[in-house]
């Protein structure tokens, strides 16, 4: 595995590094925006179905841990597929956002611990 991938796994949520491509980034006024798109890899549990890529869901924006004094926002586009035979939309069930927040679960847990 590439060393930069190992480094990204330490900085970003592992699920992003493993299943999403970083397609764009920008830095503006001490805010880092990272844009991710889910890879076009059919979910294993759906491998028996004939699926074709069918675009993306609306972009989800969540806040993650700050990096070097910069606020970090992750912009995530989840993929959807179309089952050619059943004409149904198929998608993965990602648990990327902590319940009731717009932050990653890890960041929300960190903030919760700080407030104790």
Q: How many domains does the structure of the chain reveal? A: 1
31 touches 71 (CB < 8 A): yes
110 touches 98 (CB < 8 A): no
Kindly give, in sequence order, each residue whose CB lies less than 8 Å from that of residue 53, ignoring residues fewer than 6 positions away: 40, 79, 81
**pLDDT the model gives residue 42:** 82
**pLDDT the model gives residue 37:** 93
**pLDDT the model gives residue 24:** 93
**pLDDT the model gives residue 17:** 83
Q: Which of 25, 18, 94, 5 is nearest to 56 (CA)?
A: 94
In the chain, which residues have pLDDT < 50?
Answer: 96-98, 114
Strands (E), 1-116: 20-28, 31-38, 51-56, 60-67, 70-77, 79-83, 88-90
**pLDDT the model gives residue 33:** 95
Tell me the β-bridge partners of 97. 104
76 touches 59 (CB < 8 A): yes
Q: In the chain, what is the straight-line distance between the N-terminal and C-terminal CA atoms, in Å?
A: 39
- In which domain, by residue range, is 37 found? 3-114
């Amino acid at each position: 595995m590439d060393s930069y991938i190992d480094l990204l796994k330490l900085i970003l949520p592992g699920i992003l590094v493993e299943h999403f491509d970083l397609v764009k980034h920008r830095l503006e006024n001490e805010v880092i925006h990272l844009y991710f798109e889910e890879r076009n890899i059919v979910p294993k549990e759906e491998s028996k179905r004939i699926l074709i890529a069918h675009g993306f869901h609306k972009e989800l924006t969540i806040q993650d841990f700050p990096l070097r004094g910069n606020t970090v926002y992750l912009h995530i586009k989840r993929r959807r597929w179309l089952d050619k035979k059943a004409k149904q939309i198929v998608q993965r069930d990602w648990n990327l956002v902590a319940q009731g927040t717009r932050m990653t679960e890890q960041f929300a847990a960190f903030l919760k611990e700080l407030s104790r």
